Structures are given as C-alpha cells and as structure tokens.
C-alpha cells in the first residue's frame, strides 16, 4: 500500500523535481575508469541538496550506509520512496540496474547502500588505485589549474570515503604541492616555494587560496606569452624603440631620395652642357666650311 503523503513534504517533492532536472545531463552510469570519483561527485550533489530541503532530517536519516531497522524505514516510508524515485531518475546503465533491484518496495535507502557497495567498495585494491592517482597527479601547464585542483580534491575525498578515515592535513598539503611540482613548467615555482615555506609553520593549507594563486600565475604566464607573440602589445620601451627605428629608416630613405635627386639634376646638367658644346662645335665647322667654299669660288673667278 502506498504510504500517505504528509502535507509538509510538498516542498520536498518540488525540490527533488528541480534536482532531477539539474542532473539530467550528469546521470551516474556506474561505468568508466573513474566510476568511484563519479559516484562520489553524484553523492556530493545529492547530499548538498538534501540538507537544504525543509525539513531535511527525513532524507538525512536515509542517505546513510548504516543499517536501519523496519521501524525507522516505516516511519519514513514516503521519503524513502521519494529517495528511490530520485535515484531511479538520475542513474543510467549499470547503476540504474542496481537501483531497479529495489523497485518492488521502492526502498531508496537500500538502493543507496547498494550503489556504494557496488561502485565504491572499501577494499584494498580500490584504496591502492586511488592512492596511486593522488601520488602521481600532475597539473597540466596548458590548462586552467583551478578545475584540475578541484579534480584532485575529489580524488582525495573519494579516497577518504573508501579508506573510511580522513587524511591528515599534512597529507593533503603534500598532495597539492606534489601535483604542482610535477607540472612540466616553471609557472608555479614561486607558488610552490611559498607553500613549502608555509609548511614550516602550518600543516594546514587553504585550498581556495591555492586555487586563486595558481589561477593568477597561469593567467600571467599566458598574457606574457601573448605579448611575446604580438608586436602591437609589447611594453612601451619596445614600442618606442620600434617607432625610433622606423623614423630612422624614413629619414635615411628621404636623405637617399634627396641625394639621388641631386645626382640626377647634376647628370642632367652635364648632359645639357655636353649637348650645347656639340651644337657649338657643329656651327663652327659649318662656318669654316662655308668660308673655305667662298674662298675657293673667288679663286676660280680670278683665274678666268
């Protein structure tokens, strides 16, 4: 028999409907290389939403890995069915098959436990694999570091859940500094030295501060790289040097043009002078020829 619906649960139903919509494109499938991290992310999203529901206690009682007796389940029967419906609507593939095992009673609490037992097992191999991911995690220097650091923290959180015991602050500190140190770049050298210096006085690290500082270092390096490749964004001294060099080239070019103009005019003058001399020589020869002809004519007439 379907349990009666308490009047105060109306806000819960609406909130879960909105939460299902928000996870529409981020359903948990139970498949992939990072299935434990995916389940942990999925679990965090749901837990964060569940505690904001009014009243939140009903859901908080059910999203636990502890065993609940029949009285506790019957007392929260309506909420338990809503939990099952949410898990059914926000899982797919292997994970959804696990949830469907409890379709008869729509027992959300048991489905929640089954997901963790199957996809987040607390065995030695799972712990070793997650520990290896943490110890070899390296920041990619060609990508924004904030999202990568968030990913590292999700791996650490998953490891803590599988391990059953939270890591010490110094272990988290070592993991973050190690991830930055393994980046194939010197972008984060100053940040690494600063964090390392802080370890002498404090074993706890501010994750948000590291994210912001790493993001600033990454953006500064990116801007400097762009400046090197763009002559129009060079510093002022380089721009002025470029302008001065350009002015010098223009002055030199103008001077050469003037010099070439003077040479051309000189050459023209020489050519004109040479041409005048040639014409004068021609006229002189003509006058001489005419004088010789006249003298010859007079001599002939006298002989007659």
| Tens digit of each residue's pLDDT (9 = 90 or more) over 138-173 | 999 999 999 899 889 988 988 887 887 888 888 999
Are residues 36 and 120 in contact, defined by beta-carbon separation less than 8 angstroms?
Answer: yes
Asked whether residue 274 carries a pLDDT value surpassing 90, the answer given is no
Position 115 scores a pLDDT of 87
| Average pLDDT value for residue range 208-225 | 88
Domain range list for the chain: 7-119, 124-232, 234-304
pTM of the model: 0.54
Query: Which of 168-182, 210-224, 241-255 has the lowest average pLDDT?
Result: 241-255
Length of the chain: 304
Beta bridge partners of 91: 28
| Inter-axis angle of helices 35-50 and 108-119, nearest 10 | 150
């Amino acid at each position: 028999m379907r349990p009666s619906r308490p009047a105060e649960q109306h806000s819960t139903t609406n909130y879960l409907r909105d939460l299902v919509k928000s996870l529409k494109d981020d359903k948990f499938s139970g498949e992939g290389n990072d299935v434990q991290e995916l389940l942990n992310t999925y679990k965090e999203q749901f837990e964060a939403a569940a505690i904001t529901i009014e009243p939140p206690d009903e859901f908080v009682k059910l999203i636990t890995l502890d065993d609940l007796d029949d009285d506790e389940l019957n007392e929260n029967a309506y909420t338990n069915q809503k939990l099952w419906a949410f898990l059914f609507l926000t899982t797919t593939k292997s994970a959804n098959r696990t949830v469907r095992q409890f379709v008869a009673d729509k027992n959300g609490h048991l489905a929640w436990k089954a997901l963790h037992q199957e996809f987040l097992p607390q065995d030695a191999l799972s712990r070793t694999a997650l520990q290896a991911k943490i110890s070899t995690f390296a920041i990619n220097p060609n990508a924004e570091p904030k999202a990568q650091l968030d990913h590292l923290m999700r791996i650490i959180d998953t490891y803590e859940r599988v391990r059953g015991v939270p890591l010490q602050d110094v272990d988290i500190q070592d993991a973050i500094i190690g991830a930055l140190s393994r980046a194939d770049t010197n972008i984060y050298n100053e940040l690494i030295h600063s964090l390392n210096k802080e370890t002498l006085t404090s074993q706890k690290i501010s994750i948000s501060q590291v994210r912001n500082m790493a993001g600033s270092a990454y953006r500064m390096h990116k801007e400097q790289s762009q400046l090197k490749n763009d002559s129009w964004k060079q510093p002022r001294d380089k721009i002025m040097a470029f302008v001065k060099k350009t002015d010098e080239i223009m002055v030199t070019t103008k001077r050469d043009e003037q010099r070439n103009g003077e040479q051309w005019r000189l050459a023209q003058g020489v050519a004109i002078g040479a041409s005048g001399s040639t014409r004068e020589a021609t006229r002189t020869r003509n006058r001489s020829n005419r004088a010789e002809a006249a003298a010859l004519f007079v001599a002939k007439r006298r002989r007659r």
